[in-house]
């Protein structure tokens, strides 16, 4: 390539880069499109209020307990015999 070709390619690259930058800033992402309103929430604090005592108390049912219905003394309840 000749020096003129390299100079022409560099000139075209600079002009096209500048035009594309200006086009994208003013038409594609205009300042009015870059602003958005968001909901503001409270920060999470270290304080924790106690759960409702109607549901969480010493008299409540423990859902993690194993439920047993009747007296199951058979170690293999599904061995095929009735």
pLDDT in tens, 2-36: 878 899 999 999 999 999 998 887 777 766 666 77
pLDDT of residue 43: 86
Is the per-residue pLDDT at 41 higher than 80?
Answer: yes
Q: Is 72 contained in some domain?
A: no
Query: pLDDT tens, 55-81?
Result: 888 888 888 888 777 776 777 767 765
Six token digits for residue 9: 């390619």
CA dist., res. 19 & res. 22, Å (int): 5
**Residue 11 falls within a domain, yes or no?**
yes
Q: Domain containing 18: what range?
A: 3-29
Sign, CA dihedral 42-46-47-48, equals: positive
| 61 is a domain residue | no
What would the mean pLDDT of 43-66 be, rounded to a whole number? 83
How many CA atoms are closer than 13 Å to the CA of 65, on its beta-carbon side? 6
Examine residue 24 and state whether it is found in any structural domain, yes or no.
yes
The number of folded domains in the chain is 1
pTM of the model: 0.36
Answer yes or no: is 47 within a domain: no
């Amino acid at each position: 390539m000749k020096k003129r070709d390299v100079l022409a390619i560099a000139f075209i690259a600079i002009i096209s880069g500048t035009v594309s930058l200006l086009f994208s800033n003013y038409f594609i992402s205009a300042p009015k499109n870059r602003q958005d309103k968001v909901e503001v929430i409270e920060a999470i604090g270290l304080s924790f209020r106690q759960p409702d005592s109607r549901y969480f108390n010493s008299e409540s049912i423990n859902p993690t307990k194993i439920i047993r219905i009747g007296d199951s003394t058979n170690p293999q309840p599904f061995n095929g015999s009735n």
